[in-house]
Chain A
Amino acid sequence: GENVEQHPSTLSVQEGDSAVIKCTYSDSASNYFPWYKQELGKRPQLIIDIRSNVGEKKDQRIAVTLNKTAKHFSLHITETQPEDSAVYFCAARPMNYGGSQGNLIFGKGTKLSVKP
């Protein structure tokens, strides 16, 4: 079946450093790749997403890059702050998963800790 692998499972950085989380996907026809942030005890929230016709997207300190040839995409957080501490999930939308609605397959998550 379709699969999304996410690495690392835990990541600890010093405040101000950059953090990178990587995901690989199995279905080369996947066309949408969102990233969700889940703070402790709270609901996941979309922080950035990218479609397969774009190679990179930025939103202030957050960026996502997509390499369709290698079937991987990455989340980059620059100038990390303690409030960036959370679990981050990547996801991919395979072409034929979930009928016409296009369901997401999630990675297992990365727990990011930003030390002051």
Chain B
Amino acid sequence: DGGITQSPKYLFRKEGQNVTLSCEQNLNHDAMYWYRQDPGQGLRLIYYSQIVNDFQKGDIAEGYSVSREKKESFPLTVTSAQKNPTAFYLCASKPGGYGEKLFFGSGTQLSVL
């Protein structure tokens, strides 16, 4: 579980500002995910990537963007188009193929100033 590192732990965004959340893993996992967690809403999938240089939208991708230039890294940018960004963001990874167990990072709490 310690193989996924998210930073920063807390992040504040101003109106109209884009912010980027970092996610790095050293587990050699092919697949990486970003989830948004709101109180009482469970985990909702924002974006996922099954392989380097490829990613797909999840259920709530609007206002977010990602990149996957390296296997180890899957940063998430929360753009100014995301009007309600305050949430706890979790990054996760799992082995390629049909690997099942998700390994989560420790999360980033994003708040709007």
Measuring CB to CB, which residues of chain A are less than 8 angstroms from any residue of chain B? Answer: 1, 6, 9, 32, 34, 36, 42-46, 49, 89, 93, 98-104, 106-109
The 8 A-B residue pairs with the shortest CB-CB distance in the complex, in nearest-first order? A108-B42, A43-B104, A106-B43, A106-B42, A43-B106, A44-B104, A101-B50, A109-B42
Q: Which of B17-25, B72-80, B95-103 contacts A (4 or more CB under 8 A)?
A: B95-103
Number of B residues near A (Cβ < 8 Å) is 27
Does B62 touch A at the CB level, under 8 Å?
Answer: no
| Distance A116 CA – B107 CA, assembled complex (angstroms) | 29
- What 5 additional pairs, Cβ within 8 angstroms, besides A9-B40, A89-B43? A42-B106, A43-B105, A43-B107, A44-B90, A93-B100
Residue of B nearest to A9 (CB): B40
| Distance A27 CA – B47 CA, assembled complex (angstroms) | 21
| Distance A41 CA – B35 CA, assembled complex (angstroms) | 16
Residues on B with beta carbons closer than 8 Å to the beta carbon of A44: 43, 90, 102, 104
Residues on A with beta carbons closer than 8 Å to the beta carbon of B106: 42-43
Binary contact readout B54-70 vs A (1 if CB under 8 angstroms, 0 otherwise): 00101100000000000
* Nearest CB on A from B6, distance (A): 9
| Distance A43 CA – B17 CA, assembled complex (angstroms) | 27
Q: How many A-B residue pairs have CB under 8 A?
A: 58
Measuring CB to CB, which residues of chain B are less than 8 angstroms from any residue of chain A? Answer: 1, 31, 33, 35, 40-45, 48, 50, 56, 58-59, 90, 94, 96-98, 100-102, 104-107
Residues on B with beta carbons closer than 8 Å to the beta carbon of A106: 35, 42-44
Residues on B with beta carbons closer than 8 Å to the beta carbon of A93: 100
* Nearest CB on B from A45, distance (A): 7
Ordered by A's residue number, 27 sampled pairs between the chains whose C-beta atoms are within 8 Å are A1-B59, A6-B42, A32-B100, A34-B100, A42-B106, A43-B1, A43-B90, A43-B104, A43-B106, A46-B101, A49-B101, A89-B42, A89-B43, A98-B56, A100-B50, A100-B98, A101-B31, A101-B48, A101-B94, A101-B97, A101-B98, A102-B98, A103-B48, A106-B35, A107-B42, A108-B40, A108-B41
| Distance A98 CA – B50 CA, assembled complex (angstroms) | 9
